[in-house]
Amino acid sequence: MNYLAHSFLTFSDGQIVGQFLEDFIRNKDRFSFPKDIQDGITLHRAIDTFTDAHPALHEAKKVFSPLVRLYSGAFVDVSMDYFLANDLSLNSLQGWKEHSLRVYRVLNENEKWLPENFKRMLVKMEHDDWLYNYRENQGIKFSIQNVLNKAKYLDKDLPVFELFLQNKKILQECYDAFFPDLLAHAQAVNAQLKTENPF
């Protein structure tokens, strides 16, 4: 999953920090953080493992894999954030805006835990309001291009965004079949984390 989904599938401020940190730290460093942030890191990993195994996302990857091969999962992750940001059964538009502002606030308040490369990205994320703007085609186009720019073995001009537009209906169906399961899984993982350390 991408940034919006990871930030949404949290149950505390510390978990927000941990969910974002996971992609920016070495595994051995995870135990240097407070327990709540460690729980966010654990939750991030559980979400990624569940996502990788879900049959609906295997179907979604088929949209992108002929063009981008092994990178298809990264583009599916970005695509799912678009459908989540437009899922008014989970949050209103105002609610998504409030969620985005809360995430930026929490991350800035916990700046001391953030590595420098993440701090630089956070400035851009907040300035352009990535989390809220995933609901717009242009927001997803930006994110798709960002993945292309970082992908070592992909042409930066591949028409991935056009594929996304052409296959919105299929991808929406995959999201609808997948996200309720992911939400239930995240809730179960969080309940287990609380059982392991209720304080």
Q: How far apart are CA 125 and CA 130, in angstroms?
A: 5
How high is the pLDDT of residue 197?
61
Residue 2 pLDDT exceeds 90: no
Angle 17-18-19 from CA coordinates, rounded to 5°: 95
| Section 149-164 average pLDDT | 94
> Could you say which DSSP state residue 27 is in?
G
Indicate the helix (H) or strand (E) that contains 176. helix 168-196
pTM summary value: 0.93
Residue 70: is it exposed, middle or buried by C-beta count within 10 angstroms (0-12/13-18/19+)? exposed
Average pLDDT over the chain, rounded to whole?
94
Residue 177 pLDDT exceeds 80: yes
Model confidence at 23, pLDDT cuts 50, 70, 90, reads confident
Q: pLDDT digit string (tens) for 128-137?
A: 999 999 999 9
How high is the pLDDT of residue 192?
93
